[in-house]
Structure 1
């Protein structure tokens, strides 16, 4: 794709995104993603981007947009990952996932990136998760944790996953928050397998306490269990 073609595609995408701009939402959203420069946020609500992604994915120029990395704006990445979320060809999806992951620099895009087809290939995706968890990049690691949480806490759950995540030692806030999020869901979905880890207090203080906090805040945890969990907070 030539530079002129890239410019035309980019111009089309940005024109559409700016048509949906909501300045109030921009101000609100920019506070939620402090790792992103405010000037890189247009201010487009997620439902509007999803609607645009559905339309745009059917256009010939969509492939050109996906190939043109890096993007400038957060909403361009949002459009990008919403297109990939609908991709059904697993080989193409993995290839494009590997290309875009190094450019993801915030939790909002990272956590929205959840392709439905991943569930159909648990063994293949698990091997990828193991690789992502070893990355030096904060959001690639977070993506691995969130992907494990989204796809491996039901029929594909294995108790070794709990230890896999507990072996991640880092001071990175956005990784530790993802770990806590994972364990809170593990408490909800795999309580009998997970409670021993919580009782052992072997997790770091932040992860231990945040995991319990998130589980206690859930409506899916009964009151008795909430009170029991609180006993294992680390002071």
Structure 2
């Protein structure tokens, strides 16, 4: 792809193009809204650019010859640059290249939004290899790498690729972070809808810590995909905090 150029013909760097784009699409109201949704990051790092605009722009950036220059510039100054990074690498179609790019990026992910919007769909092309990566990511010391791994299991391995042992993997995660345990609860709530027999067996066994156990039941009970009879049974499985 030909790089954008100034009037004199000098090409505009990818960093300059991104800076101009972010400034021209900034929305103060949306910035304030995002800051409330992602309270654990510096609100000053949020520009306030809407996600659909970032996704569209990322497709343009991915075609630039110098896109790797941007991808190598970690860590970024703004939340939106990290979002652009995640949307760019999600377009990678080669499995090994995708894994390499994800693993380079994950240590710099510092919030749930960037973590959850990093698409893992391309990992479905190599299911067994992806599962091996999930196992290693679950053992990471980095909060959002663990959250991402659970998200991969939830998005790619709760339907026809499901195996009961995956529930044990998630139940076995022992972490203090809110955003990890919220993802564990979300995973089990989804499992209760998609794999109810196996998931309820784990819930009933008491394998989860009390907070995650009760949060998973809460989210499942709030779901329209769970039958009323199953909801009543789940309510009876709630546990008291000691």
TM-score interval (norm. to shorter)? over 0.9
- Of 117, 123, 127 in structure 1, the residue corresponding to residue 122 of structure 2 is 117
Whether the 8 Å CA contact 2:121–2:156 is kept in 1: the answer is: no
TM-score, normalised relative to structure 1 = 0.94
Q: For 1:22, which of 24, 27, 32 is the aligned residue?
A: 27
Aligned pair partner of 1:76 in 68, 76, 81: 81
SS at match of 2:13: helix
Corresponding residue number in structure 2 for 1:228: 233
- Alignment partner, residue 107 of structure 2: 102
Q: Structure 2 CA distance, aligned partners of 1:118 and 1:89?
A: 9
> How far apart, CA to CA, are the structure 1 residues paired with 2:74 and 2:16?
15
Whether the 8 Å CA contact 1:87–1:115 is kept in 2: the answer is no
What are the ranges of 5 or more consecutive residues in structure 2 without an aligned counterpart? 1-11
Deviations 1:35-93 (A, max 9, x none): 11011000011111111112221122222211221111110011110111121011111
Q: Deviations over 1:166-220 (max 9, x none)?
A: 1111211111111101101111110011111112233111100100111111111
Deviations 1:82-137 (A, max 9, x none): 11112101111111111111100000000111232111111011111111111111
**1:45 matches 2:50:** yes
Q: Deviation of residue 9 (structure 1)?
A: 2.5
Which is further off, 56-65 or 95-104?
56-65
Aligned mates of 2:152, 2:192 — CA distance in 1 = 17
Whole-angstrom distance in 1 between the partners of 2:23 and 2:214: 41
Q: CA deviation at 1:143?
A: 0.8
Cα distance in 1, alignment partners of residues 86 and 175 from structure 2: 26
2:41 counterpart SS class: coil
2:4 corresponds to which residue?
A: none
Q: Is the 8 A contact 1:118 1:125 kept in 2?
A: yes
Counterpart of 2:169 in structure 1 is: 164
Give the RMSD, CA atoms, in angstroms.
1.3
What residue ranges of structure 1 are gaps of 5+ in the alignment?
Answer: 1-6
More helix by share: 1
TM-score, normalised via structure 2 length? 0.91
Give the structure 1 partner of residue 203 of structure 2: 198
Which position in structure 1 is the counterpart of 2:154? Answer: 149
Q: Which residue of 1 aligns with 2:41?
A: 36
Asked if residue 217 in structure 1 is aligned to residue 222 in structure 2, the reply is yes
Runs of 4+ in 1 over 6 A off after TM superposition: none
Larger radius of gyration: 2
